[in-house]
Structure 1
């Protein structure tokens, strides 16, 4: 692990640490880290490597000695962010994958907004293509289905993109990070519900600009099923019974469309025991927010092309 030269409390100390999650994408990771280390904010950068077997770790260590590298022996999915956030020495942490980087000035503006709005725990960035001609369909969905909120940095959200956000490190640590059993889809949904239940806000912030290449990707059959299954698990862990039953029905519909009803249904059932043991129903206002967003999604999805069914809502690669 390579430690940054910045020390907390000095005038040059960064306000935000950027954590880059990667696995076996050496070229993209090098490009992303180069862009991040060149930012005028000079953020601390931590690369959380999910067990790469290519030259990612060795090449990064050679090219960027100022970057901290956390190498895992295995693939922990989104839970790979957890250890890196524990080591961050700043109040705010920005998370991205190896194809996403923040625009110059975006981290400064995010820190200012979080300073000004103590109730906001997470800012979801606006994610665009490298030439800024297209916006990520997840952002289109978030912006279109989120209720407004006066006095905040943007519309309030019931969820966020784990691979394109800036949050308070203390809140993330208090929640225990991402659940590893949901680390390939759905972990951010559980984290969002727990943040909202604790009285925090999640906000979509267009001023926090991030670029991503490629802008979006198509899901495989297995990834569609895994995300639907995990979303149902999260619903049983946190939402009222009516919402959990509805989420289960949606998951079964996805399994049927993907022609995997038997195997995916069995996998869903296997998780019933640990999800029900972890059940802790959210307050009524949080459940109401999730229902409002769900209703809005049904209307908005018609106006956003079929890609809206296929984008990665977490904003990060499924490893």
Structure 2
């Protein structure tokens, strides 16, 4: 590491926070890409209680990276530990299988500096060796939410491992909930950010590259997504909308073959969830209704995955 890079890193306005769990080879490859970026962003890795030696390998290979070891797997909430360890006004999130393309973090920082109402910049995501667009990008690009005064389409959601956030907005909103663990964990945070007056914007020029594992458990992923869609609705939406989402979630569980797993998991968690329930403001509910209408129109054209 060069002294000049040390000085630039100390003055950087943004840190990169990477979350990993039991994926040593994958995260080491990702970190190699991140440290090779032209901009010397401070990098923080949160090891979510790995049991395969991931943390030790990171420490040995990348001694200049800040490593945060947490005692167990907190799921998405592990990112909260990373944010707590930084002193930069912005944070760029990565999963252990995503890496920012050159110039992208700087472009996101520019947006956050020029638009003080923006709390989250949602990135454009390209996937795999062919770098095809992620299926989530088209819905973000065509969002019909009011985007007056923004540099791109306004959103009421984002992808946790493909966004750059304003640290203060993230922290004041409480970060990610531990009880949702993982799978659609962004939904409640997006509602809380909007309720606090922060805006979320999609910027196509801010790009991250996702290299998903070919051995992902798709069935488990679907179960977690539908479970958390139901729980998120009961955490923040008015009763009529919470019931509407519940009906949809149960139908989706049945169609996807995960009803026997996902519904009991949701029902077990529901009483504790209701202890933390509060309904977002009418303006935020209106945004949710418009986003939901967009989603239902798209699903009628073809069906998109729950996210």
Flag whether TM exceeds 0.5 (same fold): yes
2:292 is aligned, of 286, 291, 294, to 294
1:155 corresponding residue in structure 2:
153
Highest RCO, 1 vs 2 (Cα 8 Å, sep ≥ 6): 1
The corresponding residue for 2:218 is 220
CA–CA separation in structure 2 for the residues paired with 1:12 and 1:268: 44
Q: Is the 8 A contact 1:156 1:202 kept in 2?
A: yes
**Does the CA-based 8 Å contact 2:227-2:266 persist in structure 1?**
yes
C-alpha separation in 2, matches of 1:129 and 1:263: 29
- How far off is 1:218 after superposition? 6.3
- CA 1:206–1:217: 2 relative to 1, 3 Å: farther
1:92 aligns with 2:58: no
Gaps of 5+ in 2: none
Displacement of 1:160 in angstroms is 0.8
SS state at 1:41 partner: coil
Aligned partner of 2:187 in structure 1 is 189
The two structures, once aligned, show a CA RMSD in angstroms of 2.2
For the pair 1:237 / 2:235, whether they are aligned, the reply is yes
For 1:241 and 1:195, the matched residues in 2 are separated by: 20
Residue 106 (structure 1) aligned with residue 104 (structure 2) = yes
Q: Are the counterparts in 2 of residues 145 and 297 from structure 1 also a CA contact under 8 Å?
A: no
5 Å matches for 1:199-214?
A: 199-214=197-212
Which residue of the partner structure matches residue 123 of structure 2? Answer: 125
Match runs of 1:137-156 below 5 Å: 137-156=135-154
8 A Cα contact 2:118 2:200, kept in partner = yes
Which residue pairs with 2:305 in the alignment?
309
CA distance, structure 2, for counterparts of residue 36 and residue 260 of structure 1? 37
Structure-2 separation of matches of 1:57 and 1:302: 45
| Cα deviation code 1:201-260 (max 9, x no counterpart) | 011111211111139986533332222121111111111111101110011112222444
What aligned pairs does 1:26-41 form with structure 2 within 5 A after superposition?
26-41=24-39
Q: Aligned partners of 1:31 and 1:116: how far apart in 2?
A: 33
Alpha-carbon distance, 1:302 to partner? 4.7
Gaps of 5+ in 1: 314-319
**1:178-203 per-position Cα deviation (integer Å, ceiling 9, x unaligned):** 10011212321111000000001011
Q: Which piece of structure 1 moves more, 140-149 or 45-54?
A: 140-149
Alignment size in residue pairs: 303
CA contact (8 A) 1:79 1:179 kept: yes
Moved more, 283-292 or 192-201: 283-292
1:273 partnered with 2:271: yes
Q: Matches of 1:166 and 1:210 in 2, distance apart?
A: 11
In the TM superposition, residue 275 of structure 1 has moved relative to its aligned partner by 2.0
**Which whole-Å CA distance do the structure 2 matches of 1:301 and 1:250 have between them?**
12
Judged with a 3 Å threshold, the aligned counterparts in structure 2 of structure 1 residues 260 and 207 are, in CA distance, closer, same or farther, namely: closer
- For the Cα contact (< 8 Å) 1:93–1:166, is it kept in 2? yes
Q: 1:168 and 2:189 equivalent?
A: no
Give 2:255's aligned residue: 257
Question: Which residue among 195, 198, 209 is the counterpart of 2:196?
Answer: 198
